[in-house]
């Protein structure tokens, strides 16, 4: 006697058809730093369900495309940048997260220097927005943004990835402002500087800021050679 749980071929084919009605996308949380604020690159949604709301940059993954390739494609198409720091963070798969049907998305965050970005405009508005000022977004993108921001907070405390957001030359004040913007907290100035200078990750350029309304500060750059020697061990930048 055939088990009541045995599937016939027609049932199996229907299930397979349903499986192939599921789409996979990537969503990119592109972080930048400007005017002492952590910012994210957003585009105005063109869906009527989310009219007037902002969304992350993303796209459906092509059948012949790896996930990372899709994320880098989206990043390059919108910013013109290559070789950018990017990290896969989490998959979001709520059944009704997309009005078009079942779309499972893989979230990435990337860190870019805003000065190097040439925004690729489309029919939709494309703008940098302060992360702390965002409250309501299209789809589940506020949840994705918050999740990626939390991951970034964790990562900057164990490795110096934040330097990807700074210009090549920067002051210790700019560096502290960056960490305060990412961590959303004030840091003790003396302890912060002592911490970073003791890690030997900064190179003193023997230069000072120019055309600033305050006392010019010394300029530094990130010491990639030193970091390459140490990157395999836990840096413990925590404050």
Least confident range of 7-11, 58-62, 151-155 = 7-11
* The pLDDT value given to residue 2: 45
- Give Cα 97 distance to the centre of its chain: 20
pLDDT in tens, 179-207: 999 999 999 999 999 999 888 889 999 99
pLDDT in tens, 62-108: 999 999 999 999 999 888 888 889 999 999 999 999 998 999 999 99
The residue ranges of every structural domain in the chain are 13-157, 168-233
Instruction: Centre a 10 Å sphere on the Cβ of residue 117 and count the other Cβ atoms it contains.
Output: 17
pTM, two decimal places: 0.87
In CATH, which of 3.40.1000.10, 1.20.950.20, 1.10.10.10, 1.10.40.30 is domain 168-233?
A: 1.10.10.10
Least confident range of 18-27, 188-197, 221-230 = 221-230
Q: Hey, do 13-157 and 168-233 end up sharing a CATH topology, with the first three levels equal?
A: no
CATH number of 13-157: 3.90.79.10
Q: What percent of the chain is predicted at pLDDT more than 90?
A: 67
* The pLDDT value given to residue 185: 96
CA pair distance 235, 85, nearest whole angstrom: 18
CA pair distance 107, 89, nearest whole angstrom: 6
Q: Give how far Cα 97 sits from Cα of 20, 25, 45, 86, 219, Å.
A: 17, 12, 14, 24, 46
Which phi and psi angles does 110 have, rounded to 5°?
-135, 155
CA pair distance 227, 62, nearest whole angstrom: 36
What's the mean per-residue pLDDT of the chain? 88
């Amino acid at each position: 006697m055939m088990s009541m749980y045995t599937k016939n071929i027609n049932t199996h084919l229907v299930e397979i058809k349903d499986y192939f009605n599921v789409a996979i996308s990537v969503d990119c949380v592109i972080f930048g730093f400007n005017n002492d604020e952590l910012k994210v690159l957003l585009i105005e949604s063109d869906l009527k369900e989310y009219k007037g709301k902002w969304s992350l940059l993303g796209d459906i993954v092509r059948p012949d495309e790896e996930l990372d390739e899709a994320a880098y494609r989206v990043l390059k198409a919108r910013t013109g940048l290559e070789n950018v720091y990017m990290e896969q963070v989490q998959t979001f798969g709520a059944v009704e997260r997309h009005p078009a049907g079942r779309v499972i998305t893989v979230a990435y965050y990337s860190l870019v220097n805003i000065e190097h970005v040439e925004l690729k405009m489309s029919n939709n508005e494309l703008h940098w927005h302060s992360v702390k000022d965002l409250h309501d977004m299209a789809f589940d993108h506020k949840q994705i943004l918050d999740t990626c921001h939390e991951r970034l907070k964790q990562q900057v405390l164990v490795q110096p990835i934040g330097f990807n957001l700074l210009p090549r030359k920067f002051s210790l004040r700019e560096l502290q402002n960056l960490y305060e913007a990412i961590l959303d907290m004030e840091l003790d100035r003396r302890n912060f500087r002592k911490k970073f200078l003791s890690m030997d990750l900064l190179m003193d350029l023997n230069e000072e800021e120019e055309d600033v309304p305050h006392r010019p500060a010394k300029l530094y750059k990130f010491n990639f050679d030193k970091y390459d020697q140490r990157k395999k061990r836990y840096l413990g930048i925590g404050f």
